[in-house]
Structure 1
């Protein structure tokens, strides 16, 4: 099996994404996780461009990577100076990274218009920079910036840049589609020509995603001789991003017969994707191929019926191969198969045609017609199922509540107070609390009234809160604009898990109340289940 080197540039090129910012500590954590995934190279940054990247390489000297080699990135030396005196090249050497990568111009208009130097002088920059670095690197790579665009305009000059880099000691020539505008057939044809003209060259590929073709272009390059693929986890990068390594690795390993990770490491791909997103404080892209939460998720009843018999009917690979899992979600598109599958997940077997299944399916479709979204709020659905089955007790009943939101002085934040009356067993609790806004105040008041009965509620925290206007809801009643029906999703969590609940109403406070109640009830219900399971084990 042929091996393709994966060169990860999340910590350098990925951080050029406008919403992505990483501290030195963040970069250290991600580098460690990328090493555990098993990529061949981790490009840590550009030590000559900023103090943070310089600190990163200094800190990395204390780490022992097990599978990856650390690479430092830079550019050819300044046109008005020399390689020996160039601060950027000296910073690369000072980083002590075993792999050094520099980029240089290969498109003639960048040489004449951006650098404002002659084509001959640019070749000297490439030669002198690589020759200066050669004794200080275990491996030396040359990124031919804008190579494909440069080749289309002036093929001979673009090739001469590659030849100069080889002569100066570069171990690998990385062909870059920097503007992301090339098509797969163009990549393939140019790769073939380069191999013909430079038969001894080892080639890599680095492409951007401006035409949504970065993955396709990378795979085309591999088919036509590239031995290294550069990209980023989750496709992070400037403009439309870089080539997404999650998709590239999955395709190379599972579709094309190449090896690019150590044996047994492919199943770490999904966790790595989620980890990088979490450290970057970005939401995971649910529909991302291979590693996304929705990559193996089924919603329509016909699909669910089929995958329950044979997952291959609607899944191109086994999700577990990349560390992902199959999910069945519920919606107004659901059939009995969805209900049966979810019921089995919750611990009980039901048969098709069971009156309970039909009743629950009808209730589900009616509620989704009102605006409830159970595919995004499975905790609320699990409660609904277990209540109908009589498996979830009524932990409390909210008899009444009142929210007071007032401003005492102009320019001062509103004062928010929630008053609630609860019945717990045969006792009535009447309490109040203040908070940062009506939802937080109600949350605090509910907890204040319940925690003496259920102390474990102090473990629970509200993690996220979303409101969406449902423009189509109650259309016949003329509700629109600020009178529209809204859906509230609340994500809560404790030390071990997270769950999402839903509420729907034209009154945002009422919708929030529904979601909050479900969230608290779900926490109490799951804790009861754990106690029951533990008791059964002890018998």
Structure 2
């Protein structure tokens, strides 16, 4: 890897990402994320705002007990306050107290902020930048200077914005990071200004973009094309307002679409999806299904002609191989599907002896169209579609027969919580099973009763859990008599699968989806024998 092709990745998930609405990292989660980012191969991990709160300072102390492979921990802070000596500034003292090898400080580049927010003079602001950079350098720190609102400041007064960078350089800053703090710049603007700064200063240039105009990743890529060698962002792109530059996309684009590299070990790119999922889990966020590169839909194909093309030449409809970023190709089943989609599912099921022009394929398509007219969808219910295939091919068998169920919801007082109970009667291989289940709601209670009834006969069922439950009203004009579609995602800890049920009664629709989910698991077990 040549030095000129290296782009340094600066992750600010734990600081800037934590400013996202609804996101909070526990102290333990912050350590977990930092260790994962280090293993993934990022160069810098910003641990928090040193002068902001005790939790961030606790992180800086705790991370010292961990052995990191290569990432540097950075403490974030601001320039000294106006008219305060840097040696006496509490924020600067907190940066030193954090005891990190790297200190990242932000300063003002936009005169509007200097005069109206800081309420100080342009010259004092420049002195604040220079003094703080110099003081941190004198204390042995690598100093990264974040020029806040740089692009807006440059548009307002190019001369002053550049003078603010000159002050950081005089103070000894190791890297000048140009910040599109309001997220309003276009890629061409980023390229032009980054080029000018790169040519003017003999210091490494970085970029920090926000996504308010949906251009954060494009802006970061244009800055790198203009010569930036340092990119700041957040895994999965969450952050204040509309979010930060998404490092998942930046890392993938740099490694797969340019001559640049940005990971200590490029082979780690194959763990990109798992990194994305891990960070979302620690932040208590759902994965974005449509996220580029790592989303479940990133390599999902629905139209029949697309599926046919992918089968013949994968890159005809995929811009990168799914496995290069740790993802998988998915073939969706819907009203747009053709024989190619069905054939893909047959191949997945090991049914390679059926021709795409066979009566069986035509019958599967006919049955699918009929079901979808009734409200069924199979895009998120792959397991239900496979059950449908088995029924059409007359390879389906019932592992149990329902004799009946009853579900009750009881509220025993104004302030008492609702209690749900389900009783269930099944015939399992000629033996009668009668069970009772309690749950947080009627569907949960029914699920518990079903699992209790079956696990004596099929022990693997005890590992099956409901991972997600979604309800759609198909004909709202019918009010309470409307048809309901229920999609359930089940998991056994290793695999996940989706099933669907449709009925005017939400409990019956849920039961249908639950049964498909259980039977699919049992079919999987039989296939392994």
Q: TM-score range by the shorter chain?
A: over 0.9
Q: Is the 8 A contact 1:332 1:369 kept in 2?
A: no
Mapped to 1, the partners of 2:402 and 2:100 lie a distance apart of: 62
Match of 2:523 among 515, 525, 529: 525
Q: Is the 8 A contact 2:442 2:507 kept in 1?
A: yes
CA deviation map 1:404-459 (0-9, x unaligned): 22334334333433222211122233443333221122122223332322233222
1:286–1:200: structure 2 CA closer, same or farther, 3 Å change rule?
same
Aligned to 2:223: 221
Q: Residue 232 of structure 1: CA displacement?
A: 0.9
With normalisation by structure 2, the TM-score equals: 0.95
Match of 1:142, SS state, is strand
Aligned to 2:163: 160
Match of 1:84, SS state, is helix
Match of 2:232 among 218, 230, 233: 230
Count, aligned residues: 524
Mapped to 2, the partners of 1:124 and 1:107 lie a distance apart of: 15
Residue 201 of structure 2 is aligned to residue 199 of structure 1: yes
Mapped to 2, the partners of 1:452 and 1:63 lie a distance apart of: 46
Correspondences of 1:54-93 after superposition (within 5 Å): 54-93=57-96
Aligned to 2:425: 421
Match of 2:117, SS state, is helix
Aligned to 1:311: 314
Flag structure 1 segments of 5+ consecutive residues without an equivalent. 473-478, 533-539
Aligned to 2:437: 433
Mapped to 2, the partners of 1:13 and 1:155 lie a distance apart of: 27
Aligned to 1:384: 388
Aligned to 1:127: 130
Which sits farther off after the overlay, 401-410 or 35-44?
Answer: 401-410
Q: Is the 8 A contact 2:110 2:152 kept in 1?
A: yes
Mapped to 2, the partners of 1:481 and 1:369 lie a distance apart of: 20
Match of 1:384, SS state, is helix
Match of 2:405, SS state, is strand
Match of 1:45 among 41, 48, 56: 48
Match of 2:109 among 106, 109, 126: 106
CA deviation map 1:468-506 (0-9, x unaligned): 11238xxxxxx5233222211122222322222211112
Match of 1:452, SS state, is coil
CA deviation map 1:106-132 (0-9, x unaligned): 111111111111111111111111111
Q: Residue 318 of structure 1: CA displacement?
A: 1.4
Q: Is the 8 A contact 2:12 2:234 kept in 1?
A: yes
Aligned to 2:458: 454
Q: Residue 146 of structure 1: CA displacement?
A: 0.3
Q: Residue 391 of structure 1: CA displacement?
A: 4.1
Aligned to 1:172: 175
Q: Residue 199 of structure 1: CA displacement?
A: 3.3
Q: Residue 80 of structure 1: CA displacement?
A: 4.5
Match of 2:266, SS state, is coil
Mapped to 2, the partners of 1:450 and 1:323 lie a distance apart of: 35
Mapped to 1, the partners of 2:140 and 2:393 lie a distance apart of: 67
Aligned to 2:184: 181
Q: Residue 344 of structure 1: CA displacement?
A: 0.8
Flag structure 2 segments of 5+ consecutive residues without an equivalent. none
Which sits farther off after the overlay, 245-254 or 155-164?
Answer: 245-254
With normalisation by structure 1, the TM-score equals: 0.93
- CA RMSD in angstroms, aligned pairs only: 1.7
Aligned to 1:244: 246
Residue 358 of structure 2 is aligned to residue 354 of structure 1: yes
Q: Residue 204 of structure 1: CA displacement?
A: 0.6
